[in-house]
Amino acid sequence: MNGIAFILLLLGVGVLSGIISAAAGLASLVSYPSLLALGLPPVMANVTSAFSTITGNYSSVFASFKELQHNRQQLWIILPLVFAGSVIGAFMLFAVPSKWFANLVPLCIALAGIILLFPHRPKQSTGTMVGNSKLFGKSRISQFFSIIGIFIVGIYSGFFNAGAGVLMLTLLTVINRQKSFAVNNALKNVAMTVTNTTSWIVFAIETTIYWNYVIPLMIGNVIGGYLGPIIVRHLPGRLMQVLVGIGSLILAVSLVIRNLM
């Protein structure tokens, strides 16, 4: 493959990754397997994918401002949790044998997909529910498990970027059943931007970055990341949940096959 074809291929992968990341949290469904197919080893494919999606993350946040306007209080609770988790996870990538965790990744992603495929019946939003949604529910137990869950997904995102978006989206869908898919997707976009930025900094310090892969993917992700929330805004939320669920199962199977090879 010549240089121009290689760049165009990576640009196309980047655009599609950005759209899927912003719309469904599954950029890794495209970028991670594509980088593996292009010959990168798993850890470097993960690092390169995380690096390349950061621009798409920021453009998707910009496009999600409309959905975030009335959800800032919950957002300010989520951000410190995912930041702390992603710092721990990013350093774990270079401290723990990756094979151990990689074997759990397909299971985590498959479970996320199965949860999304179950129909969620949104509750009617009332003044009380809106007020309590920033605390992830009325009971202390639900608040506790919601906080722990978001923190764990932050660790997962820092350690193994593939599938982190769909895990966060699934968790937010369960926590915020009274909110629309577009709102939960916007919250996920901001959370993943924080985790990927943190990972980006740690990876730059700890390892070599393949810029010939990263730059074309970054440019494509900017375009796709901006288009994703616009697509979500004009499609039924339940349809997007089903598409995300099916996509996550496909990714899980592809990772199992990769691990067995």
Residue 169 near residue 188, CB atoms below 8 Å: yes
Range of the domain at 100: 3-260
Cα 232 from Cα 108, distance rounded (Å) = 24
Q: Six-digit token pair at 94?
A: 């270079």
Residue-level pLDDT at 124: 44
Ranges of residues in the chain with a pLDDT under 50 are 122-134
> DSSP letter at 16?
H
Smallest Cα–Cα separation from 31: which of 186, 196, 188, 153? 196
Cα 108 from Cα 156, distance rounded (Å) = 10
3-state DSSP assignment of residue 212: helix
Other beta carbons within 10 Å of 130: 14
Q: How many domains does the chain have?
A: 1
Cα 228 from Cα 222, distance rounded (Å) = 10
Residue-level pLDDT at 81: 95
In Å, how far from its chain's centre is CA 92? 18
> DSSP letter at 26?
-
Cα 125 from Cα 128, distance rounded (Å) = 8
Sign, CA torsion 153/83/166/171: positive
Cα 70 from Cα 182, distance rounded (Å) = 13
Sign, CA torsion 150/156/159/165: negative
Residue 228 near residue 60, CB atoms below 8 Å: yes
